[in-house]
Amino acid sequence: MPFKLLFFCTLFAVVSCTQQAKLSVSDIKEVAVKHFREKGFHAIKDTSHVHVKKIQTGLDDEWFVAFNAVMSKPVLFLYHISDPNELPHYIPLNNKSEGIIEHVDFENVTNDEDYELVIELHFDYGLAYQAREIVILRHPFGNPAYEIFSFPFEQVWESIDSFDNRYGLPEHSKRIENHSFYEFFEGYILIRGTINYRENHLLEYKWNKEHEEFLLILDEELHEAEEEENKGGIIHKIKGNKTLVEVNAHEEGCLAYLLEDAQGHVLDIPSKIHDELLCSQVTSLSPNGRYLIYTDLEQNAICLYDIELQKNRPILNDFDSYEGVSEIAWPPKNSSKFGFISINQEEFLENTRIHIFTLRDDEQFYEQTYHKKVYYICDITGFCVPQKDYNYQFKTPNLFVYTPDSTGIFTGLKVP
C-alpha cells in the first residue's frame, strides 16, 4: 500500500479504508481534533470546538473543511474526500490574532480558472472589542496557500464609562470604526457602509493578475442620500455599468434598494418601480445590468423589468401565498437565464419548486418549473428560504445544482 494511502487510512481508523466515501462530519471532527492537537492548538479540546463544512468544487469533487469554532489561533484543515491518497492540507493563519472562524467557502473571486478560499473571522473579546474580518486565500489546494486580500469589515469598541447614581447600572460608550458589507463580482470586491469612521462610504478593489493582488481603484462617499432627496443633486440617466445597492429601509421587515451607476449615482427609473424597491423582499440585477427583478407589493407579485426596453412583467403571482421565495441565482457571466426556489408546504409535494427562466427571443423569458426537494430553513416567524450558493446555484448556464437535505451535497439538474 502506498505511503500516502497508508497514512490516510491510519488517521481515519474510525472507518475502514474501503469506506472513505462514506466518511461523516463526526468522523472528520475526530480526526481534525487530533490534527489540531498535533500542531499545538491546545484550545481545541474536543469535537465541539471544531466546525466542519462539506464543499463541492465540482459534481464529483468533494472536500471537508475543518476549522476552529472557539477562540484560538485560526487554522484550517482541508480533506479531499474524492481522493483518499491526498494528504490533508494544513492552512494556519499565522498573521492573525486569536479568533473564531465563522464561515468558509470557495469562491471564484479573481474571476479566472481558480477558486479562492474565502474565510470570515470573528474576534470576540467581550465588551472590549468585537470584529469580523474577511480573508481570501489564493490556491487553497496548493502548497502553501497564500493571502491575497483581507479587510476588517466590522470593528466595534465598547467600554463602561461610569455607573448611574440611582441604580448603579453601567453607562456604556461605543466606538464603531467599521460596520460594512462586502460583495464580489467579476474580479471586483465592493465594500460599502461605515469604513474608517466614515458613514456611507464605498471601497472598490480590482484583481491585478500581474501583481497577484487586489488593488484599490475607488475610495469615495456614496451619494445616494442627497440624490435620493433631490436636494440640488442630479438623477443620472441609465447608461454603462449599474449596481443594486441596499440602503436603510423605513418600514420594518423591508429590504430597500437603489439602482446606481458605477460611480454611486442614483439612476432614473420609473417612479413606481423606484417606490417598490424601497420595500422589496426579493430583488436582483442581472450580471449585464439589463434586467431588474423586484417584489411588487401592490401587484402581490415578483416582477421583471427590462431596463433596456422599458418593459415590465410579473414572473410569480400571488406572492403572499408562499412561505418563502429565495434569492435569484444567475449563471456566471450570463444574463439570459435565472432561477429561484419557491416554498409552499401545503401545495407542493416536496414543499419546494425550482423555477428556471430562459431568454429565447431577445425579449421574452420563458419559465420551466421542477418539483424537487431543496433544503431550506425557517425562522421564528415562519419565513422559509434556502440559502443561495450554499443550497442552490448555477454551475453552468445548463446545470443548476441544489442540496436536497442538510448534508450539503449538491444534486445536478440539467436545464435547456
In tens, the pLDDT along 220-241 reads: 876 544 344 443 333 344 444 6
304-330 average pLDDT score? 93
- Beta strands at 352-359 and 365-370: parallel, antiparallel or unpaired: antiparallel
Average pLDDT, the chain: 83
Residues whose CB is less than 8 angstroms from the CB of residue 18 and which lie 6 or more positions away in sequence, other chains included: none
**Would you say 386 and 341 are in contact if contact means Cβ atoms under 8 Å apart?**
yes
**What long-range pairs does 213-218 form, CB within 8 A, spacing at least 24?**
213/148, 213/149, 214/148, 214/149, 214/189
Asked if pLDDT for residue 36 goes beyond 60, the answer is yes
Under DSSP, the state recorded for 99 is B
> For residue 241, which of 182, 294, 305, 188 has the smallest C-alpha distance?
188
The CA distance from 290 to 280, in Å, is 18
pLDDT at residue 213 greater than cutoff 80: yes
* Residue 163 pLDDT: 67
Supply the DSSP string of 15-67, one letter for each residue.
S-GGGGGG--HHHHHHHHHHHHHHTT-TT--SGGGEEEEEEEEETTEEEEEEE
Q: What is the pLDDT of residue 80?
A: 86
DSSP code per residue over 273-308:
HHHHGGG-SS-EE-TTS-EEEEEETTTTEEEEEETT
Q: Which residue has the higher pLDDT, 170 or 320?
A: 320
- Identify residue 241 by its one-letter amino acid code: N
Q: Identify the band that residue 6 occupies on the pLDDT scale cut at 50, 70 and 90.
A: very low
Q: Which 3 state secondary structure label does DSSP give 235?
A: coil
| Mean pLDDT on 280-300 | 92
Whole-angstrom Cα distance, residue 176 to residue 174?
6
Q: Is the pLDDT of residue 340 over 50?
A: yes
User: For the whole model, what pTM was predicted?
Assistant: 0.52
Distance CA 68, CA 70 (A): 6
Handedness of CA 36, 38, 39, 40 (dihedral sign): positive
pLDDT at 100: 94
Amino acid, single-letter form, for residue 32: A
Range in 50-64, 68-82, 346-360 with the lowest mean pLDDT: 50-64
- In 3D, which of 410, 416, 371 has the Cα closest to residue 392? 410
